[in-house]
């Protein structure tokens, strides 16, 4: 007998129930992750985990990476499958996993992600100059501390000199987020808000705002929001979640590989500043035009495959 108790829920009810499932899944996986970490890293390391601040300690970094992987499964990867099954009874169809993506679309997406770098860096530099009013100085100090902490952890995660370390970083920072975050934000949340607002444009922008906000990195909020919007339109235009997953993967993978090459003195660090310097207006403008043209080509390539899920 099929399980239908959660079928036909309103978008608002789906949203509230989705939040509940995500929280429960996250707590459960982190609890199991902590238990699994005891024989792997030792009871003392796990107990002191909440106060770990020495990012130069390899053992602390390994523990943090392990918990990051566990968190990815509990927060992003498992909940979408549970929710898709409960809401629709067919995970492949509900999460847009069934349809394959065309080879030309994959190539266009990879090239597009490369050309987004100047304009995203330009917007990111502008976003990083954000200043709050004086009466919100305490909030601004907290935001800056959170941003610096996240940046320090990211740099510690990415720092590796071995090929094995690079492969693991690609798995942790590119593969898991690309799959999990797209399944959750584009596969579940975007669908809910699209049905709620009766507009896939609103669905894309609202889910992108939540996608960026969840990272709690305020000085990179706008560029991450715009990437979320880009991923959202890729889903709607192609009719398959695989295209935004591929775009998300290559966006993260380029950063991981670039940092590896820079740390190992195989790439000029100046590559990180493309589009972020004060004289980058023309590069950012050209980047925007090329990305817009490539998005048009992607939409044209996938004509007839667009999603029509507002009434489903």
The per-residue pLDDT for 303 is 92
CA distance 277 to 64: 33
The distance of Cα 140 from the centroid of its chain, to the nearest Å, equals: 24
CA distance 183 to 245: 8
CA distance 5 to 8: 9
- Count, residues in the chain: 312
In the structure encoding, which two tokens stand for residue 66, read together? 């392990």
The per-residue pLDDT for 104 is 93
Within 8 A by CB and 6+ apart from 156, the residues are 55, 56, 61, 64
How far from 312 is each of 88, 184, 268, CA to CA, in Å? Answer: 9, 18, 50
CA distance 111 to 113: 6
Neighbours of 240 (CB within 10 A): 23
Half-sphere exposure of 57 (CA within 13 A, CB side): 10
The per-residue pLDDT for 96 is 93
The per-residue pLDDT for 220 is 85
The per-residue pLDDT for 310 is 60
Within 8 A by CB and 6+ apart from 241, the residues are 95, 96, 97, 182, 183, 186, 187, 235
Mean pLDDT by 10 residues, the chain (312 residues): 76 96 97 93 78 71 92 96 93 90 94 94 87 80 80 85 93 96 97 95 96 85 95 96 97 93 84 73 91 96 84 48
The answer to whether 73 and 180 have CB atoms below 8 angstroms apart is yes
CA distance 9 to 3: 14
CA distance 75 to 164: 25
Cα 116–Cα 122–Cα 126 angle in degrees, nearest 5: 140
Classify the C-alpha dihedral 172-217-261-115 as positive or negative.
positive
The per-residue pLDDT for 119 is 92
Within 8 A by CB and 6+ apart from 135, the residues are none
In the structure encoding, which two tokens stand for residue 139, read together? 């909030």
CA distance 112 to 283: 15
Neighbours of 13 (CB within 10 A): 13
Classify the C-alpha dihedral 191-187-211-229 as positive or negative.
negative
The secondary structure of residue 269, as a DSSP letter, is G
Neighbour-count burial of 68, counting CB atoms closer than 10 A to its CB (0-12 exposed, 13-18 middle, 19+ buried): middle
């Amino acid at each position: 007998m099929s399980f239908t108790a959660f079928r036909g829920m309103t978008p608002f009810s789906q949203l509230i129930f989705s939040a509940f499932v995500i929280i429960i899944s996250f707590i459960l996986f982190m609890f199991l992750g902590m238990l699994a970490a005891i024989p792997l890293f030792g009871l003392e390391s796990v107990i002191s985990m909440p106060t770990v601040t020495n990012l130069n300690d390899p053992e602390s970094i390994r523990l943090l990476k392990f918990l990051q992987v566990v968190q990815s499964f509990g927060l992003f990867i498992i909940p979408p499958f549970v929710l898709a099954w409960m809401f629709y009874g067919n995970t492949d169809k509900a999460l847009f996993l069934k349809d394959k993506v065309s080879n030309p679309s994959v190539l266009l997406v990879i090239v597009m992600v490369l050309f987004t770098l100047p304009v995203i860096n330009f917007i990111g530099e502008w976003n990083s100059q954000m200043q709050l009013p004086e009466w919100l100085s305490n909030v601004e100090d907290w935001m800056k501390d959170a941003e610096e902490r996240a940046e320090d952890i990211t740099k510690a995660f990415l720092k590796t000199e071995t090929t094995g370390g690079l492969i693991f970083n690609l798995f942790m920072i590119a593969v898991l987020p690309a799959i999990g975050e797209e399944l959750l934000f584009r596969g579940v949340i975007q669908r809910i808000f699209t049905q709620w607002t009766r507009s896939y444009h609103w669905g894309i922008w609202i889910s992108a705002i939540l996608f960026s906000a969840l990272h709690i990195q305020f000085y990179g909020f706008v560029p991450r929001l715009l990437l979320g919007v880009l991923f959202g339109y890729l889903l709607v235009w192609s009719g398959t979640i695989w295209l935004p997953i591929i775009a998300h993967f290559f966006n993260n993978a380029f950063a991981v590989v670039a940092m590896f090459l820079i740390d190992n003195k195989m790439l000029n660090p100046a590559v990180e500043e493309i589009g972020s310097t004060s004289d980058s207006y023309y590069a950012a403008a050209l980047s925007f035009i090329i990305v817009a043209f490539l998005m048009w080509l992607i939409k044209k390539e996938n004509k007839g495959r667009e999603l029509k899920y507002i009434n489903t």
